[in-house]
Amino acid sequence: MPNTLTKYNGKWEHNHAKHVLNRLGFGADFTTLDNSVKNGFEKTIDNLLAGNDAYDAPLNDYSNVGEKDSSGVGFGESWVSSAYDGDLTYRRKISFRNWMLMRMVEEPSAREKMFLFWHNHFATELNIYNDARYGFLYYEVLRKNAFGNFKTMLKEITLTPAMLIYLNTVDNKVGAPDENYARELQELFTIGKEYENRYTEEDVQQAAKVLTGYVVIRNAQSWDLKYTFVPNRHDTSDKTFTTFYGNKVITGKSGSGGEQELDELIEMILAKDQVSEHICRNLYRYFVHSDIGEGVENGIIKPLAKTLRDNNYELKPVYESLFKSEHFLDPKFHGSMIKSPVEYVVGTLKAFEAKGPDSIKEKYAVFNQVFNRASRMQQQVGDTPNVSGWAAYYQEPSFYKIWINSATLAERTAFIQQLLAYNGFANNSQRLKIDHVAFASKIKNVSSPDDFLGYLFELIYTVKPNDTTKASILKDILSDGKDDKSVWTDQWDKMINNPTNQTYYLTVERKLKKLFNHLAQLPEYHLC
């Protein structure tokens, strides 16, 4: 298909829906996939971009049931607006990380995937700013603005305590400047590094002066006190920028008026076309493909960037233009990425309809095991490796291939085996696990091995294994090594017709564990 943003008007089948649900979310279960096919292309995209504004905050899962933590937060209550307590830092960070992963599994819209994208863009590390309350506020800023306005998000993220601490703005004061955030604001978050004609060191220094005066009072008990502007720490001199910014002068202001300089700085930066183009390139690499040649640059990136500017940096018109285009649905992009660890883990839990404990303590505990698995696959939500984000989205020429190496592949295998071949993740005898038989029972014509396997392929693969692989699975797993497809049919029918016979049930369950484990370890399963 040509490199244009012409609206898609082609057929809409399982493979198209699967592609969209993979890219804008974390895959889907049977019901969601089938409903997306029935709803049609445009309604599916609209539903994904509608988002979900309501969600529960992370909870105190670390105290004993019926008890309060040292800050007065009871078990099962949220700690996000509580007083700072250094003794609770470690446990609250774990609670927050587990909760973020739960949100990704439970959220049906694209909002959590968008959070992950913007988390990678406005990268921070929880282990550096070291306060889960600030992590939650950072999450809220990104999630709330992900379908909103980039300009608003940029200002709010600049002033969120997580970012103020992470990139040292809290240390930036008149007479002792810290240029860290001023540099990354331009190099990574807005202008980018793609152009030879760009901001200079002088622009970084002047921006750093604008950003003086902001501090965080970590022991603040009021959640409304997110940051504090201290006028006597602010540089009140005039800030003169270079020709790149048209020799713009931001007049120094004293007192509380010093805060107004940030608005002028953001307006000045966003007036540059490079910002919208940089944002749209990042969006494209994350959701479409890493390869941005001249055709994509001129036919996709620049028109998207113009849409962003023309809509005063509202993001949703850009999303709609890209995700409803022929280009986005082009079959050449189906399975053209390697799943990130989070996509791999969350997608597996969703596709195979894993069910977890209802009790708070056990639910958080089993998700902590899953979170640790994803971390060992080299993606720890809440802690990007550095301010540039995860290398898979910027490191040429490897990009997504970075996710797979001997160590991470072994971790992926271990996760799949634990969830699909064994009995899931347990805490105090409660489990996050797959009900293999109940899952298979939802498939039409499940007793027909060809139909059963065919529908499984539709559900879990974007690029399907070839006919030779399918024939091997039919024979070696479903038919117990025999050239007789009736083996599976007989075993399934016996179980259904004799619901109290444990032998028949276990025969089918063991076979399904072997089958699902095998399917999720084929190379095609890693593709998104």
pLDDT tens for each residue of 348-368: 999 999 999 999 999 999 999
For residue 426, list its beta bridge partners: 431
Q: Label the pairing between strands 239-240 and 249-250.
A: antiparallel
Residue 286 lies in a domain: yes
What pLDDT does 224 receive? 64
Helix spans in 417-501 (H): 436-441, 449-460, 467-473, 486-497
Residue 27 lies in a domain: yes
Q: What is the pTM of this model?
A: 0.96
Same domain, 270 and 148: yes
Residue 411 lies in a domain: no
What pLDDT does 178 receive? 97
Same domain, 106 and 253: yes
DSSP run (H or E) holding 16: helix 14-24
Same domain, 136 and 267: yes
Alpha-carbon gap, residue 227 to 309, rounded angstroms: 30
Alpha-carbon gap, residue 206 to 262, rounded angstroms: 12
What pLDDT does 145 receive? 96
Q: How many domains does the chain have?
A: 2
> Is the separation of the CB atoms in 308 and 318 below 8 Å?
yes
What pLDDT does 220 receive? 64
> Is the separation of the CB atoms in 408 and 341 below 8 Å?
yes
Spell out, as residue ranges, where the chain has pLDDT lower than 70.
1, 220-225
| Residue 520, domain extent | 438-526
Alpha-carbon gap, residue 282 to 188, rounded angstroms: 10
Alpha-carbon gap, residue 240 to 339, rounded angstroms: 45
Same domain, 150 and 298: yes
Same domain, 321 and 445: no
Coil, helix or strand at residue 7? strand
Block residue for tokens 């070291």:
130
> Is the separation of the CB atoms in 389 and 125 below 8 Å?
no
What pLDDT does 108 receive? 86
Alpha-carbon gap, residue 183 to 442, rounded angstroms: 54
Residue 51 lies in a domain: yes
Residue 369 lies in a domain: no
Beta strands in 196-327 (DSSP E): 214-215, 228-229, 239-240, 249-250
Residue 170 lies in a domain: yes
